[in-house]
Structures are given as structure tokens and as C-alpha cells.
Amino acid sequence: MKVLVVGSGGREHALAWKISQSPHVEKVYAAPGNAGISQVAECVPVSTEMVISLRDIAEEKQVDLTIVGPEAPLAEGIVDIFRKKGLRIFGPDSEAAELESSKVFAKTLMRTHGIPTAEFKVFDAFEAAKDHALHRPEPMVVKADGLAAGKGVIVCDTRDEAIKALELIMMEKAFGKAGDRVIIEDKLEGEEASILAITDGETILELPTSQDHKPAFDGDTGPNTGGMGAYSPAPVVDEDLASRIKSDVVVPTIHAMNTGGHPFAGVLYAGIMITEDGPKVLEYNVRLGDPETQPILMRLKSDIVPILSSVADGKLDAESWEWDDRPTVCVVMASGGYPGSYTKGIPITGLEDAGSLEDVQVFHAGTKFDDNTVVTAGGRVLGVTALGHDIAAATKRAYEAVDKISFDKAQYRTDIAAKALARPA
């Protein structure tokens, strides 16, 4: 069969890498792809926003299954557009994608169905939001309603910080129309975990737990990013807690979507805060996480293609999968200045040396070829990912690989998986 992967990040490289290993697959296409993806797939220079062109490519290339990586085309209705042409595609339709594309929709659903989350209020006018922020307890979290590439959530320790966040989102329109409405909610305290599951709306297959590192700098400081690293599994979620999250969050969310007329098929990703009062949902995503996908897929021993195909066909009940017990750690190497402004086109060296290490995969994100040289082409450049017999060994191996790679002004966190390492054995 022929498979098309939509996207150009580390998540899509991991998907293309895994899909290319399937005996069921004769050809992998990627749109638009990157320098690393081009080693396992034929890249087609069409952006993820050009959903009609992507549909036409799928028809022209006689693609049997399309896998959508990022959230924007899902929100734009790529699944709806493909299905109208009878094309098989993995992911939720545009109505179901509202779980991610509208935080107001998601929070309202959680409130209605008793799914644990922070208390919140919604505002579509700056002055009303400002007045609420001035008179409510500190700290608080200000969120843009729409998609903001993982950067539309601002944790505010003081009221002044909240006012600045509201000005940035609602007045300066830093995230465009995504900031037409905002949520102001209580700040939850605890440790985060990423809970992902694949579903066809009836059957649920859970992925191993993982933990993302959103802030740019060590110690969870600095601005939020798309993710500076991840590891799997996340020991903060033991078996009992995982069972509770499934029963209190995952199952009721899918049930609520189905009964509310928005049947959900694809990846449900719940960002969870483990608080003293139990697990609470921070937000939903409707696709695989980036960078969580990189360490998770390195642990997948099964062929991923029959599973993705079965979701597209509504037959997930016939599938199962097997996982490597060994942990994985992914360290993101980013361009200097990210998540702010940064320079592109910087040559990258050491990729072959890093990739030749045992149990290491270097997943490309913001890269491209300049003649025959791999250069930087984005904020998050690489996801250096390693397996190990325990978290400590996986972490050591990942940073050994990072040390072999070089590009000017490269930045990365040095404390990925530190929370797991600090937990009692």
C-alpha cells in the first residue's frame, strides 16, 4: 500500500520512519517533509495548510491511507475533504477536532460531563477579562481559545502578568484570531503527564505514558514552546493512576463526543496535571504529541500501519500492539533564540555520528537540504532520541548523541527526564 504522511516535524519523521518499516507499505510520501523524512519517504513540496492540494496528491499518487500529523489541517477539515472523495485518512473530522481548536469548546465539554479540570471563565472582551483578572486570586492561567502552535497558554503568577498576557493575546493579537476569546482559569499545581490513546470511537488502545517539557529552559523556566523534550514512560503515572485517568477522563471524553454528535476517531491526547486532588485535564490535543511521539514510537514493537488503517475503517477492535519495556528519552535541539526569533540556514554537523550510536534515532524537525548539506529551517531542529535499560541509561545515551551534533547557537535543555530520575526507585 501507499501511505501519505502530512507534516514536516519530528513527529512526522517518527511516523514516516515507523511506517516505512511495515511490510504492508510499498511507498511512503510526505508533504512537505524535511531533510530527515526524505531518507525514508518521497517528499512533496505542499504545505499542510493546502488541504485541497493534499487531497489532489492523494488521488494522483493513488494513496491508500493518509496520516495527518499537525493540528491545523485537522481543524481546517482535511478529514472531511478526503472522506468526501472516498479517500482513507487517519484523524478526527473538523467538528471532533474542536477539542483542540477551541479551548472554550473543550472546557465546556469537561464542565458539562464532570471531567476533572481547573475552574475557569470565558471572555470575548478585553475590559471584562481585565476586570476579572484584577479581582480574582493569584496565580492564574490565561489561554487563547484557538490554535497557537502550543504557545497560547501563559501562566501568570501575578495580576500584572495576567493583564500583560491579556493585552498580548486580545489587544496585540499575538496569536491572531485564536485570541478573539480567552479563558482565565485556576493554576493547577503538580506534575504533568501526557496521556495518549488511539480510538475509532468505540475501541480504545492506550499508548505508553510520557512527559513533555514545554518551557524553553532548564528548571521549567522561560516561555512555553512546542516542546523541548520528552520521555516515556512517565513514572508519575502508576498503573492505578493510569486506570483512573482512563475511567475519569479518556472514556468519558470519547463518550461525550459521541453522544454530543461529534464522534471521535484518531488520537485523543489529554495533557494531565497530577494534583493532590487527583488527575485534572489541562488541555486536549487531537493528534500525536510532538515531541512525545518520538520516544513513544521508538518503543513500539508492532507494525503501526494495520492499527492506523483499522481506525480509518472503524475496526480497531481487531487490533492490539506490543511495546518495548525499555524507556526512551528525546532531547530537542533548537535554534538559538527559539521560541522567539532565530536564524535559519545554519549547517548541521555530526548527524551521522549521532545516528550511528546503538539505540539512537535522530528525528528531524526544522531541517532542509541546501545542496547536499543539512541546514536548520525552523525553531525546533532535531529530536535526539535514545532507548536505555532504565531512564538514567536512556538519558545518558541521548545526551551522548546530542554532544556529537553541532550547529551555531544550538540550544537545548540539559534536564530532560530529571523529574523521573529524582523519583524514588
Q: How far is CA 97 from CA 75, 77, 105, 266, in A?
A: 6, 9, 10, 10
Question: In the chain, pLDDT over 70 holds for what percent of residues?
Answer: 100
Q: Strands 27-32 and 42-43: what pairing?
A: parallel
At 423, the pLDDT band (50, 70, 90 cuts) reads confident
Reported as a single tens digit per residue, the pLDDT across 166-217 is: 999 999 999 999 999 999 999 999 999 999 999 999 999 999 999 999 999 9
Q: What angle do CA 174, 176, 177 make, to 5 degrees?
A: 140
Q: Which of 332, 345, 403, 337 lies closest to 10, judged by CA?
A: 332
Query: Widest CA span of the chain, in angstroms?
Result: 61
The three cell numbers locating residue 1: 500500500
Q: Selecting from 3.30.470.20, 3.40.50.720, 3.30.70.60, 3.30.230.10, what CATH number does the domain 191-318 have?
A: 3.30.470.20
| Intrachain domains 125-180 and 191-318 with the same fold | no
- The reported pTM is 0.95
At 73, the pLDDT band (50, 70, 90 cuts) reads very high
Give the three-class secondary structure for 341.
coil
**pLDDT over 90 (residue 259):** yes
Domain 125-180 falls in which CATH fold? Dna Ligase; domain 1 (3.30.1490)
**What residues have CB less than 8 Å from 45, skipping those under 6 apart?**
31, 32
Q: Which of 47, 80, 43, 82 lies closest to 65, judged by CA?
A: 82
**pLDDT over 90 (residue 151):** no
Domain 2-91 falls in which CATH fold? Rossmann fold (3.40.50)
At 232, the pLDDT band (50, 70, 90 cuts) reads very high
Domain 328-422 has CATH 3.90.600.10: yes
424 residue type, one letter: P
Looking up cell 479581582 gives 135
Gap between the Cα atoms of 78 and 94, Å rounded: 8
